[in-house]
A and B are shown apart, each in its own frame.
Chain A
Amino acid sequence: MSPPLLDVAGLNVRFATSTGAVHAVRDLSFSLRAGESLGIVGESGSGKSQAVLALTGLLADNGRASGSARLEGSDLITLDQQEMNRVRGPRISMIFQDPMTSLNPYLSVGRQMSLALRAHRAIGEQAARKEAAEMLETVGIPEAARRIEQYPHELSGGMRQRVMIATALLLRPALLIADEPTTALDVTVQAQILGLMSDLRERYGTAIIIITHDLSVVAGLADRILVMQRGEKIEEGPVDAIFAQPQQAYTRSLLAAVPRFDRPIQGTPPRMKHATKPILAAESVRVEFPVADRAWFRPRRLLRAVDDVSFQLEAGEILGVVGESGCGKSTLGRAVLQLVPVSAGRVSFLGADDAQSLRRDLQVVFQDPLASLNPRMTIRDVVAEPLEVHEPTMGDKDRTNKVADMLSRVGLDPSLMNRYPHQFSGGQCQRVAIARALITRPKLVVCDEAVSALDVSVREQILRLMLELRRLLDLSLIFIGHDLAVIRQISQRVMVMYLGRVMEIAAADQLFTNPQHPYTQALISAVPIPDPVVERARKREGLRGELPSPLAPPSGCVFRTRCAFAIARCATEVPALRLAGASQVACHRAGEVFQGR
C-alpha cells in the first residue's frame, strides 16, 4: 500500500486564555490516503475545527499546536509562515462554513480568485481571470464571464459557496478541507453543493476532509468517519461500519439524534383531536416591505414577503411552517404576532379583544438564544419582565416565585436565576427564552427557528421539552423552521412556503410520506439520509437553478421556473390551494403528476 497523503500523530491544540489553558484537541491521530474522503463529526466544542485549523497554521494567535502532521514528507506543525504559504493553496486548500463572510465583500470574485492563483503561479492578471472563469464554469456557475466581475453580495448563498470551492480547487490541491461547508445553506442548495463536491472529487482525485456536526451530510460523501467529543477521538472507521455498528455510546447517541427521514420516526406528535375550535385565522394575508431605495422621484418598490396566505390554527395544535430562506416564513410569523403590519387580508386571533391581552396570549421564541436575551439582565429579570408588564400589581416576591416555578418547569435550576445569560450554554439560554415566553401563560407561541442554533443532542431535549410543555399548559404552537426533520418531528400539520406563497398544507405524516406539490417533493428529496448505503444509491432529483428574485417573482405559479412539470398554464394562472388527496396543494397539476405515489 502506498504511504498516506496525510499522517497526523499525537496532535494537541492548546489555547492560552485569561482563565488558564484550554486543551481543545487531545492526542489526535489519523491518516488519509490520496483521494480518500474523511468525515470528522462532532458537536460544537469537540475540537474538530481547531484540529484542521492547526494543520493549516490558521489557529488563533493564542493557540499552540504540538505533535506531528506529515503531508508528503514535511511536518505541517513545524513549518514556518513562508513554508506554510507554499502548502496552503497548492497542496491543501480550505472552504469554510459561511460563504458570505468568508469571501471578501470589497473585492470582485475574479479579483479574489486571481489573487489566490497568482500567489502561487507566475501568470498575468488576464490569464489568471481566464482560468478563474473556466473553474467557475466547472463548478456549475453559468455566465462565468459576467459573474467574475460581480461582488459576493450580488451572488446567492449557493453561488458563493461554489465560488469558494472553485477558488479552493484552482491550484488542484491534493487535499481539500471543508469546514461545515453546507451548514449555512438551504437544504436544496446543500444537496447541490454536496453533489458538486462528490463530482469534483471524482474528477480531480482530491482527498477531502469534511467537518460537520451533521452525520447525514457525510453519509454519501465520506469513505471513513472520525467521531470527536471534547477534543478527543471517540471512534473511527469505514463509513458503513460507523453507521451500521457504532461501537461507542456517544456515536450511537449522535446517530439516534438524527431523525430518519425515510422511515416513520418515534415520538411522533400527538394525533389531532377533532372538532376543536380555531384560535387563529389568517385570511389572504399579504405583507409588503418598501425596498430601501435612496433615489428620489422613483416609484417605491415593494417586496412582497408574504402573499395570499390563509390558514387556521386549532386550539392545542402544532403547525409547522417550512421553507427555504427568503420564503417569507419568518415574516408570516411576525404578521401572526402582529409585529409587522399586514398590507392586505387579516390575521384574527380569537379570544383576545385588546392589544394588552393579545400580547400576553401571543408569545415568541427566537433563533439565537444568546442574542435574544439582554446580556445585562439576570435570568430572573429576563423571565420576570413580561410579568411586570402584564401583572403590574403582582408583588416582587410572587414574581420571583413564579419565575422559579417556570424555570424548574423548563428544566433549569431556579437557584441559578441571579446569573447572567453569558454564563449559560446555548441550550440553557433557549430554555430561559422559553420560560420567558411561557411566564404569561400564553395561548399561542411562535417558535422562529427556535432550535436551529443548537447542537443535535440539545435540539432533541428542547423539542421534547416543548412537546411536554404544550401538553401541560394547553398551548398552540407555530413552529417555523428550515429543517424538515425537526418540523416533521414536532408538527401535526405542516405548511410549505416558497417565495411568499403557500405551496402545500397537509398533516405531517401525509406531507412527508406522500408529498403532492413538486416543490415539497424536491425539498424532501434534498434532505440527506444518515445511511451511507441508501445515500450512495440514491439519485437526487434536486432543484435546478436559483431562487428567483422576490422583487420580480415569476408570473402565475411562482415555482414554475424550477419545476420539472411546468406547463403553459402555470405561467399565466396563479394556482389556488385545492384539495388533492388528503393535502391542500397549490399546483395546477396536483393529483395528475403524483397520482399513485
Chain B
Amino acid sequence: MLRFTLQRLLTGIPTLLVLIALAFFLIRAAPGGPFDTERQLAPEIEAAIRKAYHLDEPLPQQFARYLGGLVRGDFGPSFQYREYTVTELIVAGLPVSMTVGGLAMLVAVLVGVAAGTTAALRQNRMADHAVMAAAMTGISVPSFVMAPLLILLLAVGLRWLPAGGYGDGHWRYLLLPVLTLALPQIAYIARLTRASMIEVLRSPYIRTARAQGLALRTIVLRHALKPTLLPVMSYLGPATAALLTGSVVIEQIFGLPGIGRFFVNGALNRDYTLVMGVVVFYGVLIVVFNFLVDVVYGLLDPRIRHRT
C-alpha cells in the first residue's frame, strides 16, 4: 500500500510540471502585463519595477527561478496585492472556500446517492421521473440564476437567512452558498447513481441474492451499493477538487472571502504569480483527489486491491 501511494504521488509530479510550464508560458504570452495601467509609467520606473520582480530576465531563467521558489514552498509575491505574498492570500481564503466546498460536496454525495438509488428502485415510475426532472433542472439552471433566486426567497422574502457575508462560518451564513453549490452536484451524482444502480441491479449476482430470499434493503445496501459507487467515485475526485478551490460565482454573489475570486482577478490583472499560485494549488488538489479516488476504488473493488 505504501509503495502504491508513493508510486502514484510520484507519477503526479510530471503531470504537475507540464501544467506549471503551460500556465507559466501561456500567461506570459497573453497580451499586456501586470504593470500596464492607463497612465503611462516613466520608462525608468517601469524598468525598475520589472527588475525588482525579475521580469527583465530571459523567460527560461524566470521559469527556473519560479520552480526553485516552488520547491521551497514559496509562490512569490502577488503583483496586484502588493502587501501580500501569494501564499498568504491562499492561506487566508482557503478555509472559507474549503468549508463551503467541503460541506457542499458532503451534502451532494449524501443527497445525490440517496436520490439516485430511490430513482433506480422506482425505475420509470413517478418517483423516478420526479427525481430525474429535478436533477435535469439542477444541472441546467446556472448557479448565478439559482443563487439570486434563493436569496430572494429565503433571505429577502422570508428573512430566514442572511443574504451574504461569511459571518465567521456561522451555519446561517453557510446554508445558502452551500445549498447553491451543492444543487448541480446533487443532480449530477443522482443521475450517475441511478444509471449505475440500474445496471448493477440487473447483474446475475443480484439475481443470486434475490434467489437467497434477501430483503430488498439488504440487497441494495449490502450487495449493490459498493459496485454502484465505483463510477460515481471517478466523478467525485475532480469534482471535489473543483469545489474545494472555491467557486468564483458563489463567492462573488454571497460576498465570501474565499480563493475563487483570485482565479478571475489574477487572470484579468495579469498577476502572474497569483495565477500561477492558484493553478499549482488546483493542480496539486486534482492529483491528490484522483489518487484518493484510486485508493477508494481499491477499497471498493477487491480485484483492484489484489492487483497492486
Contact B210 A119 (CB under 8 A): no
Also in contact, A85 and B222, with CB within 8 A (given A102-B205, A292-B307): no
Instruction: Give the size of the chain B interface in residues (CB under 8 angstroms).
Output: 28
Please state if B222 and A295 are interface contacts (CB–CB under 8 Å): no
In the complex formed, the residue of B with least CB distance to A177 is B211
Q: List residues of A whose CB falls within 8 A of some B CB.
A: 56, 58, 81, 84-90, 93-94, 96, 98, 101-108, 111, 115-116, 119-120, 151, 153-154, 164, 167-168, 292, 294-296
| 9 cross-chain pairs, A with B, having the tightest CB-CB distances, nearest first | A89-B213, A88-B213, A151-B302, A116-B212, A104-B205, A94-B211, A101-B204, A85-B213, A106-B226
Q: Which of A115, A168, A295, A296 contacts B223 (CB 8 A)?
A: A115
Query: Nearest-CB distance from A301 to chain B (Å)?
Result: 13
B3 at the binding interface (Cβ < 8 Å):
yes
- Enumerate chain B residues within 8 angstroms of A103, measured Cβ to Cβ: 205, 208
Query: What are 21 A-B interface contacts by the 8 Å CB criterion?
Result: A88-B213, A93-B211, A101-B203, A102-B205, A102-B207, A103-B208, A104-B227, A105-B227, A105-B301, A106-B227, A106-B300, A107-B222, A107-B223, A111-B222, A116-B212, A119-B212, A120-B213, A151-B302, A294-B307, A295-B7, A295-B308
In the complex, what's the smallest C-beta–C-beta distance from A72 to chain B, in angstroms? 15
CB atoms of B213 and A87 under 8 A apart = yes
Set A98, A101, A154: member contacting B306, Cβ < 8 A: A154
- B303 and A167: CB pair below 8 A? no
Residues on the A chain within 8 Å of B306, using CB: 151, 153-154
Please pick, from B207, B218, B223, B300, the residue contacting A58 in the complex, using a CB distance under 8 A: B207
Q: How far is the CB of B120 from the nearest CB of chain A, in Å?
A: 13
Mask, B222-260, CB within 8 Å of A = 1, is: 110011000000000000000000000000000000000
Beyond A106-B302, A153-B302, is A119–B211 a contact (Cβ under 8 Å)?
A: no
Question: Is B7 touching A104 in the complex (CB atoms < 8 A)?
Answer: no
Residue on B nearest A113 in the bound complex, by CB: B212
| B22 close to A (CB within 8 Å) | no
The B contact surface, by secondary structure, is helix
Contact A296 B7 (CB under 8 A): yes
- The reply to whether A119 and B213 form a contact with Cβ atoms under 8 Å apart is yes
Task: Check if B41 is an interface residue, CB within 8 A of chain A.
Answer: no
- Residues of chain B contacted by A115 (CB below 8 angstroms): 209, 212, 214, 218, 222-223
A293's closest neighbor in chain B, by CB?
B307
Residues of B within 8 A of A98 (CB): 204
A-B contact count (CB 8 A): 93
Q: Please name the residue on chain A nearest to B300 by beta carbon.
A: A106
Q: What is the minimal beta-carbon distance from A436 to any residue of chain B, in angstroms?
A: 32
A105 to B205, Cβ gap below 8 A? yes
Does B42 interact with chain A (Cβ within 8 Å)? no
Closest Cβ–Cβ distance, residue B8 to chain A (whole Å): 10
Please, which residues of chain A bring their CB within 8 A of the CB of B210? 58, 88
Answer yes or no: B145 CB below 8 A from chain A CBs: no
Are A93 and B212 in contact, with the CB atoms below 8 A?
Answer: yes
Chain B 195-222 per-residue mask, 1 if CB under 8 angstroms from chain A, else 0:
0000000011111111111111010001
Say yes or no: B205 contacts A119, CB within 8 Å. Answer: no
Task: Say yes or no: B207 contacts A119, CB within 8 Å.
Answer: no
Contact B214 A85 (CB under 8 A): yes
Query: A residues within 8 A CB of B214?
Result: 85, 89, 115-116, 119
B residues neighboring A (CB under 8 Å): 3, 7, 203-216, 218, 222-223, 226-227, 300-303, 306-308
> Once the chains are docked, how many angstroms separate the CA of A173 from the CA of B171?
56
- Which residues of A are found within 8 Å of B208, using beta-carbon distances? 94, 96, 102-104, 164
In the complex the two chains form, what is the Cα distance from A14 to B218 in whole Å? 29
B205 touches A153 (CB 8 A): no
Q: Which residues of B contact A296 (CB under 8 A)?
A: 7
Among B3, B208, B308, find the residue whose CB has the most chain A CB atoms closer than 10 A. B208
When the two chains form their complex, are residues B301 and A106 in contact, meaning their CB atoms are under 8 A apart?
Answer: yes
Expressed in whole angstroms, the minimum distance between the Cβ of A391 and any Cβ of chain B is 44
For residue A94, which residues in chain B have a CB less than 8 angstroms away from its CB? 208, 211
A residues near B226, Cβ cutoff 8 Å:
106-107
Distance of A57 Cα from B281 Cα, bound (Å): 55
Contacts of A154 in B (CB 8 A): 306
Tell me, rounded to whole Å, the shortest Cβ–Cβ distance linking A82 to chain B. 8
Known pairs A105-B302, A107-B223, A294-B308; A85 contacts B215 (CB<8 A): yes
CA of A392 to CA of B209, assembled, Å: 55
Give the nearest-CB partner of B7 in chain A: A296
CB contacts (< 8 Å) of A87 on chain B: these are 213
A98 to B207 alpha-carbon distance, docked (Å): 12
Would you call B223 and A104 a contact (CB within 8 A)? yes
Q: Contacts of A295 on B, CB cut-off 8 Å?
A: 3, 7, 308
- Cα distance A62–B195 when bound, in Å? 19
Looking at the assembled complex, report how far the CB atom of A467 sits from the nearest CB atom of chain B, in whole angstroms.
Answer: 37
- Which residues of chain A are near B211, meaning CB under 8 Å? 56, 58, 88-89, 93-94, 96
Q: How far is the CA of A151 from the CA of B298 in the complex (A)?
A: 13
Please measure, in the bound complex, the distance between the C-alpha atom of A294 and the C-alpha atom of B306, giving whole angstroms: 11
Residue of A nearest to B8 (CB): A294
CB distance from A292 to the nearest CB of B (A): 7
B residues less than 8 Å from A153 (CB atoms): 302-303, 306
Give every chain B residue within 8 A of A292 (Cβ-Cβ).
307
Give, as a whole number of angstroms, the nearest-CB distance from A571 to chain B.
30
Assess A101 versus B205: contact at CB under 8 Å? Given A106-B302, A151-B302: yes
Q: Could you tell me the distance in whole angstroms from the C-beta of B263 to the nearest C-beta in chain A?
A: 35
CB distance from A501 to the nearest CB of B (A): 27
Q: What is the CA–CA distance of A295 and B308 in the complex, to the nearest angstrom?
A: 7
- Tell me the complex Cα distance, A86–B212, Å: 9
**Alpha-carbon distance A105/B224, docked complex (angstroms):** 11
Please determine whether B207 and A151 come into contact, CB atoms closer than 8 angstroms: no
Give min CB distance, A59 to chain B, whole Å: 11
CA distance A96 to B211 in the complex (A): 10
**Closest A residue to B302 using CB positions:** A151
Query: With A and B bound together, what is the CA distance between A160 and B3 in angstroms?
Result: 31
